[in-house]
Amino acid sequence: MTAPLICPSILASDFAKLGAEVAALEAAGADWIHVDVMDGHFVPNLTIGPDVVKALRPHTTLPFDVHLMVAPVDPWLEAYRNAGADVLTVHPESGPHLHRTLGRIRQLGAKAGIVFNPGTPLNILEDVIDLVDLVLIMSVNPGFGGQSFIDSSLRKIAGARRLIDAAGSHAHLQVDGGVTSANAAACVAAGADALVAGSFVFKGGPDAYAANIAALKSA
Ligand SMILES: O=C(CO)[C@@H](O)[C@H](O)COP(=O)(O)O
Ligand SMILES: [Fe+2]
């Protein structure tokens, strides 16, 4: 089995040193930088605007994997893409026309991701699988870092893996929320090939990032 992509969420980083944080993550072996964008409306928290993404772009060559928890999401796609986002991931609940939104993301030259909350049914995926490069399963309810992994997410990861494979898709299958070295192996066994982790990667400070990332990869 190949090692999963590790996508540290900078929500758990030191916001006063964001440029140094993304550079440190790259040096520590991260594969993608996961950027959680929250609007205080779709989710009860407020985080990172496109200008911050733009300011971070020169500090790493890693892909920016931007998780948009914003509604309506369509007006923001271009701004995050122009700021340097490589993957734009949207919630089906964040706009009226999911098919159009995903098409627009690819038209902008980014990879298109779709994200499922714990309470969002997976069947939507069947109708848009040809339009997505990434399927993200939330293993917590979105809005905050540091929450506990919801165990039933493993069934959902396995269900998404079946749908992706049945469609002959090469989309990545990513998991986000409460991921640690204790559940990473189960996520990968269920079919995930990309793991988002905030609290787990950042615990212990910069000197620990490489070991924390390695612990997730080797799972
Ligand atoms: O999208 C979200 C939360 O809404 C995540 O990306 C979290 O930021 C992950 O943090 P941990 O649960 O790993 O601390
Ligand atoms: Fe996220």
Residue 143 near ligand 1, beta carbon < 6 Å: yes
Determine the pLDDT at residue 28: 98
Which two three-digit tokens encode residue 174? 């990513």
Residue 196 has pLDDT above 90, yes or no: yes
Non-local (6+) Cβ contacts of 170 within 8 A are none
Determine the pLDDT at residue 26: 98
Determine the pLDDT at residue 158: 98
203 CA to middle of ligand 2, Å? 17
Determine the pLDDT at residue 112: 99
Residues with catalytic function = 36, 176
Determine the pLDDT at residue 156: 98
Q: Of ligand 1's atoms, which has the minimum distance to the CA of residue 179?
A: 13
Residue 211 has pLDDT above 80, yes or no: yes
Q: Of ligand 1's atoms, which has the minimum distance to the CA of residue 197?
A: 13
Q: Of ligand 1's atoms, which has the minimum distance to the CA of residue 67?
A: 1
216 with 4: CB under 8 angstroms?
yes
157 vs 162: CA distance, rounded Å: 9
Residue 30 has pLDDT above 90, yes or no: yes
Residue 113 near ligand 1, beta carbon < 6 Å: no
Which ipTM was obtained for this model?
0.99
- List the beta bridge partners of residue 36: 67
Residue 8 near ligand 1, beta carbon < 6 Å: no
Residue 144 annotated as lining a ligand binding site? yes
Q: For the segment 123-175, what is each residue's pLDDT rounded down to a tens digit?
A: 999 999 999 999 999 999 999 999 999 999 999 999 999 999 999 999 999 99
The greatest distance separating any two alpha carbons of the chain, rounded to the nearest whole angstrom, comes to 45
Determine the pLDDT at residue 144: 98
176 CA to middle of ligand 1, Å? 6
Determine the pLDDT at residue 219: 86
Residue 1 has pLDDT above 80, yes or no: no
Domains defined along the chain, listed by start = 5-218 (3.20.20.70)
Q: For the segment 63-122, what is each residue's pLDDT rounded down to a tens digit?
A: 999 999 999 999 999 999 999 999 999 999 999 999 999 999 999 999 999 999 999 999
> Do you find a cis peptide bond into 72, omega within 30 degrees of 0?
yes
Return the residue matching tokens 């799972």: 219
